[in-house]
Structure 1
């Protein structure tokens, strides 16, 4: 450890530049993961974080909520399935609306405010009453603030915002929740003359001793024309999610590989340059394990410094992010990325350790490499 620290101190500029480069790459890893999580949260947060255990779609909708049209009678049929404790309708409409005189898009969800699928928890304000809604708090940057009135177009229906929910956004547009019976009224006003009021989903609460995926499969088998899914499957199966996830995974994977290669090749080159010093140390009694430990210690210190630098850059990026698309620092993500980079960097450093182990101490006495 003494050799590792002394070497770092004597080559401050070299190691500082490398730590900075590693920090920038770690920042890129953290930023891409944060960006991906935020984007997916805006896209499918209302499904992924839904209070229901199981979500039931029309079987031909291909897990697309906006294409799913379910007859209201299905709610009663789902209730008869073993393992189902409660079932409630969910309706979704994507509308044009104005709030604070600004024209915007709105995903309006009708839910049972006391049953599965309810907007829970309310992080500020209260549950909506007649003519009221709660909205996802990320929409505040777009003017959706408590006390403001949303006016639906073209019907002119007015809805007052009385509370916020968290991480319940859908399709990257402002998302609001109101009682299902009131949602039915809105549907009839927006689509007068419609013969039925189709449901988008059926939200299901299951027994405590049941598994969501199992009950979902049971619903699919026992109720005609529907597909029951647990929240994870419903969210990941939403059209477009797989493409987004794969794209970010590819970019993150390439960046991760670059970090590991940069660290590994740097220390391999450094080992070759200092091989005579290592040979001399071995000739005077230093063990291979001691020298390898010093090298690994340098890698650990370098990666940790880079991680701190990368995290500070991420914090700066989150502070400067647009309120309409807020980014935040996920401590668990930082720890996961740091540990992963650290482990694989140490593994890449084994090439340098192998080079040291193969050096012949007798070369020091001969004055050769």
Structure 2
């Protein structure tokens, strides 16, 4: 299962993938040569110099290099030249003529610079148009945020139960002169420390598990996503846990110490 990326005139070299153990570029590809995603080497045992056969056209392709994380959605990519792709298609459709679907450049382009049958799109717009990507990505993000809110709520409930069990202690603290602001600082500090421990454990386990996941399970951890989720978890945990402060504020030291508190 593969998605072919057929390229031509790659002068700016901005489409080149991250290569493994070679300086080969897409523009260096000759006819009937292919650069495969590294998962083919790891899962299928394919090596540089091997020949693979395209299932539809029966065309033999020589593997000249491997690229890291070369995927289109969840499908592995095979980089080939436009001549190679044209030859493969013409075996099943003799009238086929290759035409680029996308023109990629670093230059600043506006719609007025292009023919009427072309449109300008940035990187994000192109990615969002990958079949199934937007819906799938939205679903995964929703699951992530639901789990984040649920775990934060559990931590908040845990602290609320602890607060109910220690109302007498809070009554004593108030009786000896401890202010509500000091109690709030202690509670929120404990919440922050527990949240940080949870975040560090979660990130550590995810980092350790990632190398052992099969290539069929794409796993990418980015600094931006990790920071966003970590900070959001800590903040929502503090907010949920802070609800216990409402109960503490209502504590009457005389009633609680006297045994009438709930």
TM-score (norm 1): 0.61
User: Which secondary structure state, in structure 2, belongs to the residue aligned with residue 109 of structure 1?
Assistant: strand
Query: SS at 1:226's partner residue?
Result: coil
CA distance in 2, matches of 1:278, 1:185: 80
CA contact (8 A) 1:149 1:161 kept: yes
2:145 corresponds to which of 253, 276, 294: 253
Judge which range, 256-265 or 130-139, deviates more. 130-139
- Output the CA distance in 2 between the equivalents of 1:239 and 1:329: 22
Q: In 2, distance between residues paired with 1:274 and 1:109?
A: 64
2:8 aligns with 112
Among candidates 129, 144, 151, match of residue 237 of structure 1: 129
Does residue 205 in structure 1 map to residue 105 in structure 2? yes
Q: Give, in whole Å, the separation in 1 of the partners of 2:229 and 2:7.
A: 38
Is 2:233 aligned against 1:341? yes
TM-fit CA distance, 1:342: 0.7
Counterpart Cα distance in 1 of 2:145 and 2:32 = 48
Query: Helix, strand or coil: the match of 1:176?
Result: strand
Residues in 2 aligned to 1:318 and 1:251: alpha-carbon distance in whole angstroms:
19
Distance 2:248 2:196 in 1: 24
Aligned partners of 1:245, 1:171: CA distance in 2, in Å?
10
More deviation, 107-116/244-253: 107-116
| Greater relative CO, 1 or 2 (CA 8 Å, sep 6+) | 1
Paired residues of 1:124 and 1:165 also in contact (CA < 8 A):
no
1:235 is displaced (CA, Å) by 1.0
Task: Check conservation: 2:38, 2:68, Cα contact below 8 A.
Answer: yes
Counterpart residue number, 1:149:
51
CA distance in 2, matches of 1:348, 1:367: 28
Aligned length: 255
Q: TM-score, normalised by structure 2?
A: 0.83
Of 167, 175, 178, which aligns to 2:80? 178
* In 2, Cα distance between equivalents of 1:327 and 1:106: 19
Q: Output the CA distance in 2 between the equivalents of 1:159 and 1:216.
A: 38
Runs of 4+ that moved beyond 6 A: none
Richer in strand (by share) = 1
Distance in 2 between residues matched to 1:180 and 1:260, nearest whole Å? 52
Structure 1 residues 268 and 217 mapped into 2: Cα distance closer, same or farther (>3 Å)? Answer: farther
SS of residue matched to 2:69: coil
Give yes or no for the alignment of 1:135 onto 2:36: yes
| Corresponding residue SS for 1:162 | strand
Match of 1:299 among 191, 194, 199: 191
SS of equivalent residue, structure 2 residue 104: strand
